[in-house]
Amino acid sequence: MPENRITQLVREDKKLLIAYYMPEFPVAGATLPVLEALEESGADIIELGMPYSDPIGDGPVIQEAAHIAIRNGVTIRHLLDLVRRARQGEGCRKITAPILLMGYCNPVIVYGIDSFLHHAREAGVDGLLIPDLPPEEAADFLTKAKKIGLTVVFLISPVTPPERIEMIDGLSTDFSYCLAVNGTTGTAKLSDAASGDAVDDYLKRVRRHTRKKFVVGFGIKDKARVESMWQFADGAVVGSALLQYIAGATTPEECARLAAGFWKTLR
């Protein structure tokens, strides 16, 4: 079995810039062109959302994107087929960047956990982030995922106590994902929190209690905030801002052009 792309990447001494994209948003047919645009523009890892009808942890931007993705026909089966096509270069240049799927437990359970894991790996997925999967209940899922070479990422929040940070660090395969502030995606006011050094202190605390790398997401919208997060963390995740930037596109080609333009401003 070839080594996981995420595992290879985190060995490198570089700060990561991670894109979150909701497939088939804002128009059907946009996914493959956008993946190509993001990779060519410098996205180190691409997170693909698994749309769910009740995304309780997400703000209005990603909620709306999820609903549009569902209307445009995105199911887990369709999403995995898009990943397979991206890996094989069907409809786009062959995508080699690590791909991480992010979504909720319910669709995975409905699909069938064992089938989902195997089909994801076969399609070319490298990792999974399931926000509502409690670490304390994840042992079986984690064992099965690791056995077939899938990275599993767990979340750390600003109110996570030190002993739990250490537990999450131990469970996450290659890196953990820190929420910059408490709140739903795209709605948290990172600039307000950062003004009191709260985020800096929080990330310093995470660093003291982790051995693996960690990345930061939620509320990161521009190059200045990416670079600010890079001072303390190993990577920054940008999602809602990207979706907002491409939301007005009416063709897949326009989506790709806008995505590339936005991503280059972050680099």
> What average pLDDT score do residues 155-163 get?
96
pLDDT of amino acid 182:
67
pLDDT of amino acid 181:
76
Each domain of the chain, given as residue ranges in start order, spans: 15-266
Q: Which residues pair with 214 in a beta bridge?
A: 176
Is 82's pLDDT higher than 50? Answer: yes
- Please name which of 58, 54, 53 lies closest in space to residue 20, comparing C-alpha atoms: 58
Q: What is the DSSP letter of 50?
A: E
pLDDT of amino acid 194:
44
CA 191/CA 200 separation, integer angstroms? 12
Query: To the nearest whole number, what is the mean pLDDT of the chain?
Result: 93
| Tokens found for residue 30 | 């946009």
pLDDT digits (tens, 9 = 90+) for 103-132: 999 999 999 999 999 999 999 999 999 999
CATH topology of domain 15-266: TIM Barrel (3.20.20)
Q: In sequence order, what are the residues at sequence separation of 6 or more whose Cβ sits closer than 8 angstroms to the Cβ of residue 203?
A: 178, 216, 229, 232, 233
CA 145/CA 89 separation, integer angstroms? 25
pLDDT of amino acid 183:
55
What proportion of the chain, given as a percentage, has pLDDT over 70? 94
pLDDT of amino acid 55:
74
CA 133/CA 141 separation, integer angstroms? 9
pLDDT of amino acid 267:
86
CA 25/CA 68 separation, integer angstroms? 6
pLDDT of amino acid 195:
42
Catalytic positions, please? 47, 58
Helix (H, G, I), strand (E, B) or coil at 107: helix
Handedness of CA 102, 107, 109, 115 (dihedral sign): negative
> What average pLDDT score do residues 189-212 get?
78
pLDDT of amino acid 196:
38
pLDDT digits (tens, 9 = 90+) for 20-47: 999 999 999 999 999 999 999 999 999 9
Q: Annotate 7-33 with three-state secondary structure.
A: HHHHCCCCCEEEEEECCCCCCCCCHHH
Sheet with 45-50: strands ordered across: 151-153, 127-129, 99-103, 45-50, 16-21, 235-238, 213-217, 175-179, 155-156
> What average pLDDT score do residues 6-13 get?
95
CA 79/CA 263 separation, integer angstroms? 22
